[in-house]
Structures are given as C-alpha cells and as structure tokens.
Amino acid sequence: MEQRFPFKLGNRWVMTGAIALGVLSLVGAMSYVVFFRGNPSTSSDGTEEIVEVLQTDYVTALGRIEPEGEVITIAAPANERVGQLLVQEGDIVSSGQAIAYLESYPERLAERDLAASQLTEARAQLDAETLVGNAQIQEARARREQVNDPKIAAIAAQQATIQRIAAELDSAQREYQRFLELHDAGAVSLQDLDDRTVIVRSREEELRNAQANLTRLQQERRTDIENANAQLQAAQANLTRSQVMAQVASATSNLQLAQARLDRTIIRAPRKGQILKIHAKEGESVTDQGIAQLGNTAQMYVVAEVYETDMPRIRTGQRATVTSMALPESLTGSVAHLGLLVDKNDVLDTDPAAKTDVRVVEVKIRLDRSEPVAGLTNMQVEVRIDPNTATTQIQP
C-alpha cells in the first residue's frame, strides 16, 4: 500500500533547510565561543578573574615582486628597426652600456663622418686664411713703420734746423741793434748797418722756409700714417672675412647635429641592472614596449597593496614577512617607503569573492635577501606586516 505524506518537499526546499540549519549551527558555535572567551571566568571561590588576551594584530596584503627602482622600459625612436642586438635576457649591464644598434646606425654614421670631414676642411681653410691674413697684417704694420720712422727723423732734423736758424736770427738781430746804436753815434757807416739788415732779413727768410718744410713733413707723415693704417685695417678685415667664409662654426654645428642623430641610433642602458625581457630582436620594429626591460635585481622589493584603512598603522622600518606557494621558504624585510596615492588594487586575489574595487596604497618593502626572488619579478606574494604586538585586558 502506498504511503502518502501530507506535504511534498522538493529538492530546493531540502537544500534551503539544510543551509539554514548550518547557519544556525555556526551562529550557535560562535556564540558559545564568544560567551566563554569574551566574559570573565569564575574561580573556585566564586570571585571573578581578569582574562589577559594577547593579540597579534598583523596587517596583511597582497603584493608583487619588483626590482629596486621598478622595472624600466628601454625605449627607442618609433618606426625604427633593430639592426644589432648586443645583449640577451639575464645579462647584467652597466650604466651607459650599448645594448643595441638601430638599423639606421650605418647611415647616421656616414653622415657623422661626412660632417667631421667637412669640419676638418673648414678648419684647414681657416688656418690657411688666418696665416695669409696675419702675413698681410704684419706687412701693413711694417709698411706703417717704414713710413713713420723716416718722417719722424726728417721732422726732428727740420726742427733742429729751425732751432739753429732761430738762434742765428736772434744773433743777427742783436748785431743789427748794436750797429744801429753805433750808426746813430757816428761810429759806423750806413753801409755796415745795411749789411746787418740784410743778414737779419736773410735769417728771417730761412726760418720761414724751415718752418714751412716742417709743416710739410708733418702733414706728409700724417697722410702716410693714415694710408698705412687704412691698409692695416683692410688686411684685418680681409682676415675676418676669410675666417667667416671658412664656416667653421657652421661645420661644427653640422657635426654636433650628425653626432646627436648617430647617438639616437645607439641604445644604451640608462642605469646598471639586469635585462629582464627583450621585446624587439634584430630586424624587428620597435613598438610601444620598447626594446627591453631592465631592473636592478641585486636588490629586490615587494610592493604590497595595503588597504587605506590600515595605512595609519604602517610606518617605515616595520618588519614584514613575505610568503608564496612558489617560494620554498618565507622571506623577511622592512617597510622602506609609503605610497602617497590611494588607488584601486592591481594585484587580484584568486578568490572569486574577493573585492576588486578596494582602495589601496602601495607600500614598498625592502627584502633582506634578494637572491631567492631575483628572477621572479611581478610574482604575486602574500605580505604580513607586524606594526606591534598589543596586549589587551578584558575587565569584568
């Protein structure tokens, strides 16, 4: 005989009842724990005791491994091809070391060599023009001295002649005055007095002629000096013009420009580090990813994404423990830097129920040992920061 039940329970109702029962059981267990661990205990004599609870209030966060100074992308001019690659992944490079030559390197090298040869020719021309110009200047100076020195000697001689004639004129004038007095006294004849008059007039004429010659010599000297100075200035101007025509400055600028363009085809490491990843090999075009990625793996850091609500408890120097399923052992380190920007988290948990829009701050932790994770850049890790161990007393 078939037995019937007054109520027919479907599978959905059975599952709902089981879940509700489990929730009630969990709430009861938690209430039991809170009651017995959150209230004062009673001693055998009936008095209440204070229970001391030691709390290890750690700050936990997800993080990622990165080299000191973060990972640098070594870029290159867009739309260029790699002509020669000088490094491989894992190589240690020094600051300024060439790691690649672009495909345009030979062309830019030829342009640089051409500019260098043009500068050499310009400098040679400048040296030749300078030599010739200096010779012309020296010749003009010598000509000026040749003109000046004889004129100075002639002027000096003429001045001496004028002084002599002036002395003779003075003597003749005194002699004439004496004869005039003697003639008035009747001691000499009129003929003797006339002779003395002729001598005075002759000396006066000689003095005027000598002074005129002196003026002529001085004027000739000034004219010759002006001509010589003009020739000297012309020689100096010719030298300046020749130097400008040599175009050394322009050739120097062209060489500097060619060298700058050549330098752009030589890709160098911006600092010391290890080549982590190569994005463009020989013959490939350079993309937004650059040629390679570089990092200082000698010192590794952990970038922990700490919830913004936990940041007031974080200070530099606090100790931290780093763990991961990929590591054979946990690593230790110290908080070295606190971020200044609150942003959404980048490191996502594998838990599908984890919050993906939480607000976090990046905290950098300097690892005590870098060797175990030197080749694990960007690996996800769990971080536990120990602000301090607190002791809390629960009063009755």
Reduced to 3 states (helix: H, G, I; strand: E, B; else coil), residue 357 is coil
> Which residue has tokens 């600028």?
253
Domains of the chain in start order, with CATH, are 11-55 (no CATH), 59-103+270-394 (2.40.30.170), 109-255 (1.10.287)
Reduced to 3 states (helix: H, G, I; strand: E, B; else coil), residue 202 is helix
pLDDT at 36 > cutoff 80: no
pLDDT at 119 > cutoff 50: yes
Structure letter (DSSP) for residue 206: H
What local confidence, expressed as pLDDT, does residue 385 receive?
95
Give the DSSP per-residue string, 221-257. HHHHHHHHHHHHHHHHHHHHHHHHHHTHHHHHHHHHH
Per the prediction, the chain carries an average pLDDT of 81
What local confidence, expressed as pLDDT, does residue 37 receive?
38
Max CA separation in the chain (angstroms): 207
Reading the block at residue 326, the tokens are 């990929």
The H or E element containing residue 145 is helix 105-184
**pLDDT per residue over 175-191, tens digit each?**
888 888 888 888 878 88
pTM assigned to the model = 0.56
Write phi, then psi, for 289 (nearest 5 degrees).
Answer: -75, -5
What local confidence, expressed as pLDDT, does residue 245 receive?
66
Name the strands in the sheet holding 82-85, side by side, starting at the edge strand that comes first in the sequence: 82-85, 98-102, 266-268
The C-alpha atoms of residue 358 and residue 62 are separated, in whole angstroms, by: 12
pLDDT at 389 > cutoff 70: no
